[in-house]
Amino acid sequence: MPLLKIAKSTVTGLKELCRFHPLQNRRRPRPKAGSSVAFNDGCCNIHQAIQEVLPALLASLEDDERNVVLTLARMWRTLVTKEFVSKDIAAQWAAARLAEEQVVILNKARDAYLTACEEDWQNCQPELERTIKALHQNILANL
């Protein structure tokens, strides 16, 4: 299964990559909202998985803005802390490290995720693009 098909969720994509690793014979728990799961980078190459999934994720931005923003935040946090966390926790962590304009976008995405509401991103396209760029740059800096 090509890794580029695994773009919707970092945790799902990384779980798929690890599933085929010869040393990976046990199931990893999925993080619930507000929780985290630590990983050992030796069991599966998280950096490689993120690097391979990143282009497809960025290409899926249109009509999936919320999930792309939150997944980028989760990728960044995973690279820095070596923990898998829920999207809302990753957004909160990333918001503490980004400019105010980007915090507004992260909070909008997080709130939509937590309330399962759809958001209209048309009125904030420039801010959204700058937030995506900042998250992307932080991911690349940690690969």
Render pLDDT for 115-137 as a digit per residue (tens, 0 to 9).
999 899 999 999 999 999 999 99
Q: For residue 21, give the DSSP letter.
A: S
Cα 88 from chain centre? 10
CA distance 11 to 75: 9
Q: Partners of 85 in the beta sheet? A: 36
Contacts of 58 (CB under 8 A, 6+ apart): 68, 132, 136
Number of H helices and number of E strands within the chain? 6, 2
Picking from 83, 90, 124, the residue whose alpha carbon sits closest to that of residue 110 is 90
pLDDT of residue 44: 60
Question: Would you say how long the chain is, in residues?
Answer: 143
Average pLDDT over the chain, rounded to an integer: 80
pLDDT higher than threshold 60 for residue 86: yes
